[in-house]
Amino acid sequence: MEKSTKLIGVLGCGWLGLPLAKQLVDAGYVVRGTTTSKEKLAKIKSQGVTPFLSECTVNDCSSLAPFLLALDLLIIAIPPGIRQNPGKRFDLVMEEIIKEVNAQEVKKVVFISSTSVYGQASGEIDETLKAKPTSESGKQLLACEQKLLINPFFESCIIRFGGLIGPNRHPIFSLAKKGQISNAEGRINLIHLIDCIGLILACVTKFKGNITFNGVTPYHPSRKKYYTEMAALAILPTPVFLSKKAHDRVISSAKIQTALDYRFVVENLLILK
């Protein structure tokens, strides 16, 4: 742990943010966490995290001020929420967050982004590839990344995670309900919650200057191979795989492994929890 980094804020204590905050506490940091729900305040506090109730809009984010006060580092772990609310402008909300970060003079920011910023790109993908998102969520996430990276008042570490799996979250359950899985020969680009947290912790302790990383487990079997194995583990019927021409890509995490000296924990992703 860097001696200069003592007080950390986790903006968004959800599926990823809350266990991350707990790991930070266990690592010796003093941690604050936010939620938009009064009902979650006690749960956050029970993890040794100081809870704050806050909700940002496209017009105002001033409720963040007490949470941000004197932070050494901020982790932004709030999902865009555009699938549930197609009209949402997460990029404009980010502008308001940045105003408050500047006002409170926070000097380091870690932002959780997504490989959706690469759109329909295929082949081997690393951080040198120009992002060309096709989904609205991907477009807004890229806009957020850019707003953070050009800000002259703090350093930003952007982590683009692949598909997230972990407790109560694995695509095999929704895919099994569909009965058919497309892109059978395309390869997977996933990451387990354990490694999401591990990479963020490594970024917290080691990043300097503005930098962008991919966060995807270096295990890329075909969707057919992987989801057949996962269906067997979950005791689900083997899905039907559609064998049209594959949209295939492998998103590389070589940069983050080298820069942060990180070794993935859940290496083969054959896990349901």
Residue 1 has a pLDDT of: 44
pLDDT at 181 over 90: no
Q: What is the pLDDT of residues 45-76, one digit of tens each?
A: 999 999 999 989 999 999 999 999 999 999 99
| Class of 7-167+189-218+250-259 in CATH | alpha beta
Q: Are 133 and 118 in contact (CB under 8 A)?
A: yes
Model's pTM, two decimal places? Answer: 0.95
Greatest alpha-carbon span in the chain: 54
Task: Please report which helix (H) or strand (E) contains residue 254, including its range.
Answer: helix 254-259
Q: What percent of the chain is predicted at pLDDT more than 70?
A: 98
**CA-to-CA distance for 124 and 128, rounded, in angstroms?**
11
**CA-to-CA distance for 259 and 271, rounded, in angstroms?**
27
Q: What is the pLDDT of residues 194-208, one digit of tens each?
A: 999 999 999 999 999
Average pLDDT over every residue of 26-40? 96
The radius of gyration computed from the CA coordinates of the chain, to the nearest angstrom, equals: 19
Of residues 86 and 264, more confidently modeled: 264
Any residues with CB less than 8 A from the CB of 170 and at least 6 apart, and which?
230, 234, 272
Hey, what amino acid is at 262? Answer: Y
Q: Which two tokens stand for residue 36?
A: 């938009």
Mean of per-residue pLDDT scores for the chain: 94
Q: What is the pLDDT of residues 106-132, one digit of tens each?
A: 999 999 999 999 999 999 999 999 999
**Domain map of the chain by residue range?**
7-167+189-218+250-259
Q: In 113-222, where does DSSP find H-type helix?
A: 136-149, 171-178, 193-206
How distant, in Å, are the alpha carbons of 67, 139, 221, 247, 265 from that of 227? 42, 29, 10, 16, 20
pLDDT at 105 over 50: yes
